Amino acid sequence: MPGAYLGQTGPIPMPAFTRIEPYRSPDGQTEIDALAENGERWAVEVKWRQKRVGRRELEQLLAAAADLNARAWCVSQAGFTPDALTFAAEKGVLISNAEGLAALTKLIS
């Protein structure tokens, strides 16, 4: 799929996930909106609010994803701060705003 929908420059292979469910660590300290699996894992965090996602939130997602041996993907209705965009590009965190998510939905429908 076009990487632009995920905040990347090149195309991104999208796995056909066989299992998608919320994740909560046994100690209750880590929650992920969706952990998607099919040979690889994606940790997906959705922020459906009017405030843009900042770098700190992406750092937390990336740390949680690393603990789960997963690829980090953040979806934000309001988008991302400039610092978050830079961090995502540097660390390979997948990001989508509302428009990108709508485009992805049309692509896979």
- Report pTM: 0.92
Per-residue pLDDT band at 105 (split at 50, 70, 90): confident
Mean pLDDT to the nearest integer, 35-58:
95
Is residue 41 situated within a structural domain? yes
Is residue 55 situated within a structural domain? yes
Is residue 14 situated within a structural domain? no
Is residue 19 situated within a structural domain? no
Round the average pLDDT of the chain to a whole number and report it.
Answer: 93
Q: Give the pLDDT confidence score for residue 109 in this predicted structure.
A: 67
Is residue 65 situated within a structural domain? yes
Is residue 63 situated within a structural domain? yes
**How many domains, the chain?**
1
pLDDT tens digit sequence for 25-42? 999 999 999 999 998 999
Single-letter code of the amino acid located at 72: A
Is residue 16 situated within a structural domain? no
The per-residue b/e assignment along 47-79, b for 16 or more CB within 10 angstroms, e otherwise, is: beeeebbebebbeebbebbeebebbbbbbbbeb
Per-residue pLDDT band at 108 (split at 50, 70, 90): confident
CATH of the domain at 33: 3.40.1350.10
